[in-house]
Amino acid sequence: MTTGRVIKNYNGFYYVDVGEPQLVECRRRGKIKEKILVGDELEIQLLGDDKGVIEQVLPRRTMLRRPAIANIDQLFVIMAAQSPDPSQFLMDKMLMTCEYGGIHPSLCINKCDLNRPRAEELKAFYETCGYAVYLVSARENCGIDTLRALLPGKVTAFAGPSGVGKSSLLSQLLHRDDLSVGAVSAKIRRGRHTTRHSEIMKVEDHTYVVDTPGFSALDFDHLEARDILALLPDMAPYGGRCRFSSCLHRTEPGCLVKEAVQEGKIQPERYETYCKIVDSIQERKRYV
């Protein structure tokens, strides 16, 4: 039996990296009922050098749902310091979407050349909230080496709204001037499949980078209001000890979350994000 990782998934075949230059084209055995995702670690039975059958899907450590990618070790949410101008609400929602997938993300602010003061401000803010923050400029090749040093031995995903410079950053990071990552995923997207495909790029043994076309902030409206606090790691520790165990930390008396906001232990902007999302969930419930 050989173990490997699914790198891509095309036409019902899974292409598995087993540590050889050649990917192994695998099909699934009928007995395997679960969905197999890009990033999944598998046990396969080799049939010759480059063909195989999937025997087992190994337990997943993390799972991002949209796009569906298993076993991401670290994820960078990329934002621009300017153009597009960063919205903290969007940034919070992107970060929360990762937490929902079981991944504690880091933040990468690109285009620092355009607005250094704003970038520094965001860095200070999000570091206080418990995220690692990296300031880079793909244009000026600044901060890229620091980011690259974090890749070895891991599966690293990059997510961000379009226009923030994700393709530029990935090309710099991977030293591949010829590779427009955005172009690659666009081509896959335009293909026969209507679902969006992600492909993991192998940088070297045990080191992978994955672009996440179609990653966008979750629509939290379909979650329960009581599950939102857990997605904000800086606020979550204050939950669960309020006077009412059902406290949603809005207008209830004896709320330790609101107390922490007043004492400056929770940033008011983060509490604002929390309130907007919870209120929107409550609003929806009122109409169904």
Closest CA to 182 of 205, 154, 209, 163: 163
CA 44 – CA 3 distance, rounded (Å): 6
What is the footprint of Zn ion within residues 220-259 (CB under 5 A)? 242, 247, 249, 255, 257
> Given the complex with ligand GDP, which of 106 and 110 has the nearer CB atom?
110
Q: Measured from the CB of residue 117, what is the shortest distance to ligand GDP in angstroms?
A: 15
Q: Measured from the CB of residue 38, what is the shortest distance to ligand GDP in angstroms?
A: 19
At 277, the amino acid letter reads I
Which partner in ligand GDP, Zn ion, none is near 36 (CB below 5 to 8 A by kind)?
none
At 101, the amino acid letter reads G
Sorted by sequence, the CB contacts under 8 Å of residue 148 that are 6+ apart come out as 173
What is 176-232 written as a DSSP string? -TT--HHHHHHHHHHSS-SS----EEEEETTEEEEE-TT-----GGGS-GGGSGGG-
Among 123, 166, 249, 258, binds ligand GDP (CB under 6 A): 166
> Given the complex with Zn ion, which of 195 and 245 has the nearer CB atom?
245
> Given the complex with ligand GDP, which of 8 and 139 has the nearer CB atom?
139
Which partner in ligand GDP, Zn ion, none is near 5 (CB below 5 to 8 A by kind)?
none
Residue number with the smallest Cβ distance to ligand GDP: 165
Size of the site for ligand GDP (CB under 6 A): 16
Q: Measured from the CB of residue 231, what is the shortest distance to Zn ion in angstroms?
A: 16
What is the footprint of ligand GDP within residues 124-143 (CB under 6 A)? 137-139
Site string for ligand GDP, 174-203 (x = CB under 6 A): --------x---------------------
CB 30 within 8 A of CB 40: no
256 contacts ligand GDP (rule: CB under 6 A) = no
123 contacts ligand GDP (rule: CB under 6 A) = no
CA 166 – CA 35 distance, rounded (Å): 29
How many residues are given for the chain? 288
* Residues pairing with 16 in the sheet: 6, 24
> Given the complex with ligand GDP, which of 86 and 165 has the nearer CB atom?
165
Would you state the structure tokens that stand for residue 105, as one six-digit string?
């993300």
- Give the up-direction half-sphere exposure of residue 252: CA atoms within 13 A in the CB hemisphere: 16
Would you state the structure tokens that stand for residue 288, as one six-digit string?
């169904």
CB 111 within 8 A of CB 165: yes
Site residues, ligand GDP (CB under 6 A): 110-111, 113-114, 137-139, 160, 162-168, 182
Site residues, Zn ion (CB under 5 A): 242, 247, 249, 255, 257
